[in-house]
Structures are given as structure tokens and as C-alpha cells.
Amino acid sequence: MTGLTRDVVTKKRADRSTMDAFSFSFFCDICEVEWRSARYKFNPGDYTALINPEMYRMLWNDQHTAAYERAKRDAGFEFNRCPVCGRGVCNACFHLSGTGVSDICVDCLKKLGA
């Protein structure tokens, strides 16, 4: 399995965040198997944020962004980037040659007739 270095892990993803916690799903670009991130609790901080809606919103947005970046980084270890088509695919949809030279997704492997 290879880690992903691009900004986007998979084409299809879902934000499963609530006002209390942040969570995200990423789906294999071939079979659409879902991988869910850990849940990251929202921390509103002190009493000021609880009574000031603008401060609350700002904290929520900042923590949401940070949680997404963490989830995206973690998802990069769950999906493989095909060097031919560039898709992010799960282990079941990725062909490991054992040498690292021809590691590609199963769709590209079929197209190449291997």
C-alpha cells in the first residue's frame, strides 16, 4: 500500500460532521468501498465562545478544517494512488506486483491486458 500525496484522496467523499464532532468518509474511486475517519470532538473552549455565536462559528470552522486535514492524511494510508489513471483506490482494487514497478489499479491492469 502506498500513501497518497495529492491534495484529494478520492473523488467521492462525504462530510459526516455534526455540531459536536467531525468525521469524514472517503470512497474508493473504483468499487466505492467506504472508509470513515475517526471522530474528532469539537471543543468550543471557554464560556465566551458559548455565548458569542460568531466566536463559536469561527472555532467550529477552524476545528472542522483541521479535522478534515487530519482525516485526509489518515485516508492517504488507506487508499493507493494509481500512477496510470491517478485514481485513489482501496487495497482490493489495487494490484501490487511485489516489485513496486507495476503497482497499478485493477482497471488499468485490465486495460493493459496484463
Domain count, the chain: 1
The answer to whether position 87 is within a domain reads yes
Looking at residue 1, what is its pLDDT?
Answer: 39
Q: Answer whether residue 96 is part of any domain.
A: yes
pLDDT of residue 37: 97
Range of the domain at 19: 12-111
Sheet holding 12-15, edge to edge: 12-15, 24-27, 34-36
User: Residue 2's CB: how many other CB atoms inside 10 A?
Assistant: 15
Residue 77 lies in a domain: yes
* Residue 7 belongs to some domain of the structure: no
Express each pLDDT in 4-39 by its tens digit: 444 679 999 999 999 999 999 999 999 999 999 999
- Quote the longest CA-to-CA distance of the chain: 63
For residue 66, being part of any structural domain is answered with yes
pLDDT level of residue 44 (50, 70, 90 thresholds):
confident
Q: Which residues neighbour 72 within 8 Å (Cβ) at sequence distance 6 or greater? A: 9, 24, 26
Alpha helices in 1-114, H assignment, sequence order:
47-51, 53-75, 106-111
Residue 2 included in any domain: no
- Within a domain: 90: yes
- Quick check: is 107 in a domain? yes
Specify whether the CB–CB gap between 105 and 92 falls below 8 A.
Answer: no
